[in-house]
Amino acid sequence: MGRPRGRDRDRGERRILMVAGLSHRRAIIVGTGQAGLAVAAALSSEGLKPQHDFVVIDAAPKGARSWASRWPSMALLSDARHSALAVRRLPGDQRRHPRVDEMVDYFTFIEAALRVETVWGTRALGVEHRGNGSTLLLSTTAGEVQTRNVVCATGAAAHARIPDWASALTVPGVILHSSEFQHPQLVPTEDVLIVGGGNSGVQLARELAASHTVTLSTRTPRRQRPATRHTSGVEERTSWLSRKRRPEPVLGDSYHQLRRSGVRLKPAVGSVEGALINFVDGTHTQPGSVILATGYHPGDDWLPESARTDRSRRTMTGLPGLFVAGMPGYGGRGSDTIAGVWRDAAAIANHIINRP
């Protein structure tokens, strides 16, 4: 066999240096979105230094924040006052609803202000306890890294949730998840079916109604709440009377207002037969295009099963030293909001500081 090529040797050397730069830190934060930066800010407030005491890694290419993938006209549901981390407010009018590009700039500013040098292009693959002490072994695409604490901050909306019936659907236009939508020109047909009556579906229906014939399919009717009353997050609530979970309310336009704008409302999709979509009320349609505003799965799929099922206290898991920020399943209601994630971050920083 021949000698390794120079490029391969250089790549191997860079990987060795990267692993060395990550190993033996007090904590590794996985994800540099709102949750990861909130934890970085909380650790910094406790006196820990980025790159020295803790490091932040992210699977995305350099600077490619998940916020940048949202459609450009998308605006946050919360106003600027409730859309910022505790360490720095958003500039400008605090009553406005920030756009996606503003949030990308804001988090880039926060990262620089904290002096965090994110290690981009490094994906976490798994984590396990190693030995008899408190050491964790974090497996990454750069190699295995030893550390005392790992913070999973890979997002509550990391992976698109696709209905099972979508694989059997054929349309002349496009089938998109809401995370792939960028502008109305991506929908080449005159009519479009939006599946999902939550806030993303309602925002998409409102925007597309100006240029397309829109049908909105919703499984559960939702209460409407004015956007001006919204603070930091919308979430499911439990009725004190029936103890049943209520879906999050829709903010801004109500279903009635959508109807007045020409949007046709239909119940949930029951089944699919090629190009034919059957609704649960017995009606059907053959849409030109379909947008799936069907939500997301959290980014905790790289954690061990025991950590995902054994959640003893807020942000903690069944694996000592492994914490989760920004996911309601671990941190409670509102953890997936920008303002709410600070509670997770403060709790995690306290655990790390006091953990032997």
Strands 276-279 and 269-273: antiparallel
In Å, how far are 15, 59, 202, 208 from 191, measured between CA atoms? Answer: 50, 36, 16, 9
Q: How far apart are CA 286 and CA 279, in angstroms?
A: 11
Domains assigned to the chain: 6-158+298-354 (3.50.50.60), 161-295 (3.50.50.60)
Q: How far apart are CA 320 and CA 309, in angstroms?
A: 14
Q: Find, among 107, 112, 119, 113, the residue nearest to 51 by Cα.
A: 119
DSSP for residue 18: H
Strands 159-160 and 237-238: unpaired
Q: What is the pLDDT of residue 19?
A: 61
Q: How far apart are CA 162 and CA 14, in angstroms?
A: 38
Q: What is the pLDDT of residue 253?
A: 78
Contacts of 331 (CB under 8 A, 6+ apart): 314, 315, 324, 325, 340, 341, 343, 344, 347
φ, ψ of residue 11 to 5 degrees: the values are -65, -40
Going residue by residue through the chain, which has 356 residues, state the pLDDT in tens, using 9 for 90 and above. 455 555 555 454 455 545 656 767 899 999 999 999 999 999 999 999 999 999 999 999 998 887 777 777 777 878 888 888 888 888 889 988 888 889 989 999 999 999 999 999 999 999 999 877 788 999 999 999 999 999 999 999 999 999 999 999 999 999 999 999 999 999 999 999 999 988 889 989 999 999 999 999 998 776 665 555 445 444 444 343 444 555 676 666 788 889 999 999 999 999 999 999 999 999 999 999 999 999 999 999 999 998 888 776 889 998 999 999 999 999 988 898 888 899 999 999 999 999 86
Q: Find, among 222, 215, 221, 197, the residue nearest to 294 by Cα.
A: 197
Query: What counts of helices (H) and strands (E) characterise the chain?
Result: 8, 21
Rg (CA), the chain: 22
